[in-house]
Amino acid sequence: MKQFEDYKSMNVGGSPLAINIDYYDAFYRNVDIMKEALETVDTSKLPSNEDLTAYNSYKKFLDSKKNGETPDSNAWAGYTSSITTASLVKASNIKEVNPLFFGSTASMTLKWPTLTKMELEMYLKIITGEQTPDAFDKFVESWNKTGGEVITKEVNEAIATK
């Protein structure tokens, strides 16, 4: 179907659903495979048809750049978000922190929306200069009194029972 092929050629996912299920480290794995394919013009090691679609988009971007042409914005966005970003992240000294808890507690159900709102408001006030970073300590006290301390206790108990 031509419309689907046109849509897919813009390096938009080939799925009708906005969901991406992959290995947890696919971002890092794929960048080296894709860079090698782009450098050697050999797509035989690309793991999927979606990767081939991405390859064609990235190649289009690189060819446009090499020929002094204005690159297609979709090709630029795909290359920049996948190749440039992944390369920078992979080369940096980032310490990954894997969460210990993914669930919800009884208190979270009741209090989390209020605590989240408080948190976002405090961040915004600090960023805009309405509050200084020193105000964060007072915010933490208020956050704990509003339910954060109870939730923290519940989460720690849930982790301890695993």
Q: What is the pLDDT of residue 48?
A: 82
Write the pLDDT tens digit of every residue in 98-146: 778 888 999 999 999 999 999 999 999 999 999 999 999 999 999 999 9
Instruction: Tell me the three-class secondary structure of 44-106, residue by residue.
Output: CCCCCHHHHHHHHHHHHHHHHHHCCCCCCHHHHHHHHHHHHHHHHHHHCCCCCCCCCCCCCCH
pLDDT tens readout for residues 40-65 = 999 999 888 888 888 999 999 999 99
Entry pTM: 0.52
> Would you say residue 12 has pLDDT above 70?
no
Q: Tell me the domain boundaries of the chain.
A: 2-91, 106-160
